[in-house]
Structure 1
């Protein structure tokens, strides 16, 4: 191991306590309207799942901070939508897309529950659904209940692929070493 690798390794191990808050900040960013289209928290969560399985970082801390980030990011986007109100649907920037805006509003009004429970799994679109919920004047109590439920499902499912891959690698390494 060269000096740079040693320094990097020592730095990472001495700052592992920041993994949870940093990942929470990433999930917060990914859940914010507009910002969420460019913040890649999902990919980092898969890696974090593997690190949790390897015992490198604390899974309880990671899950807690990711839940807080996801819930608070969506809550802030919802609040922003409430502040903008339905008038924002008529903004001059949206005039060329009037038909798409109308379809989106109609779709959202006719299928709120399924949309809000599944929106977290739809990539960059996920960041805009809370904003639209707020602009559509969905009640805060209903939105926050669905926000929390969807976050509780989403966070473990995003950590699971990395976790399961790391566990599989451990099991595979055990089988290989046992047969040698």
Structure 2
């Protein structure tokens, strides 16, 4: 509650720029919750200090730029980035091992899931950069898709709960659970879509093979 009130106070005085800068440093691993920052931005819009739709855009820009900075640090400096104390603090040996395990389990989809893993988000993006698993375009596609779910959700939650901070915090906690449920459902839908496309492709290939076998002349 105290952090939310402080952020609201800062944002009402400095508006979009403050929201953008706080989100930027959130992306760099500073322990300020991104969801609370976005909610605070939404609250300032609900109180009439800013436009909520513009705030969503500012939130997207701050989130994606912060994430991209982490990715590019990994891409340009590789493991030598660990010489910087703040990077070494974020990417501990234990976190490196945990991130590698998660990459083996989820593949590049981990870059989408990372949006919902606050403690591991920055290490995941840095490691993804130095491992060169994906291009910058694919990184932004995966990370941006996740941000399109989370950023508007938190900003509009703050906007509609601007006049009742106590209830708002309760909604924040429920919203965190709701986002996880939504994420799981989205992953299930995507996996089903991939499975169905592969199955259809296999059936089509089988039919074409049967047709070729029945009509040998068509081979020529």
For the superposition of Structure 1 and Structure 2, which TM-score range results when normalised by the shorter chain?
Answer: 0.5 to 0.7
Superposed counterparts of 1:36-115, under 5 Å: 36-85=29-78, 101-115=96-110
Classify 1:127/1:101 alpha carbon distance in 2 versus 1 (closer, same or farther; 3 Å). Answer: closer
SS at match of 2:119: helix
Change (3 A) 1:87 1:54: closer
The answer as to 2:122 corresponding to 1:127 is yes
- Asked if 1:147 corresponds to 2:147, the answer is no
Structure 2 partner of 1:26 = 22
- Give the Cα separation in 1 of the matches to 2:154 and 2:125: 19
Distance 1:140 1:48 in 2: 28
Is contact 1:23-1:66 (8 Å) kept?
A: yes
CA separation of 1:100 and 1:48: change in aligned 2, threshold 3 A: closer
Deviation at 1:116, TM superposition (A): 1.6
Q: Which residue of 1 aligns with 2:161?
A: 165
Provide the alpha-carbon RMSD of the alignment. Answer: 3.1
Q: Which TM-score applies when normalising by structure 2?
A: 0.56
Shift of 1:41: 4.1
Aligned pairs, number: 148
Deviation at 1:146, TM superposition (A): 1.2
Change (3 A) 1:155 1:103: closer
Q: 1:17 to 1:152 in 2, by over 3 A?
A: farther
CA contact (8 A) 2:109 2:142 kept: no
1:41-79 CA-to-partner distances (Å, cap 9, x unmatched) read 432321222232333321132112111111111111001
Counterpart in 1 of 2:113?
118
Tell me the residue number matched to 1:5.
none
- Kept in 1: contact 2:45–2:52 (CA 8 A): yes
In 2, distance between residues paired with 1:100 and 1:50?
Answer: 34
For structure 1, the residue ranges without an aligned partner over 5 or more in a row are 1-11, 170-180
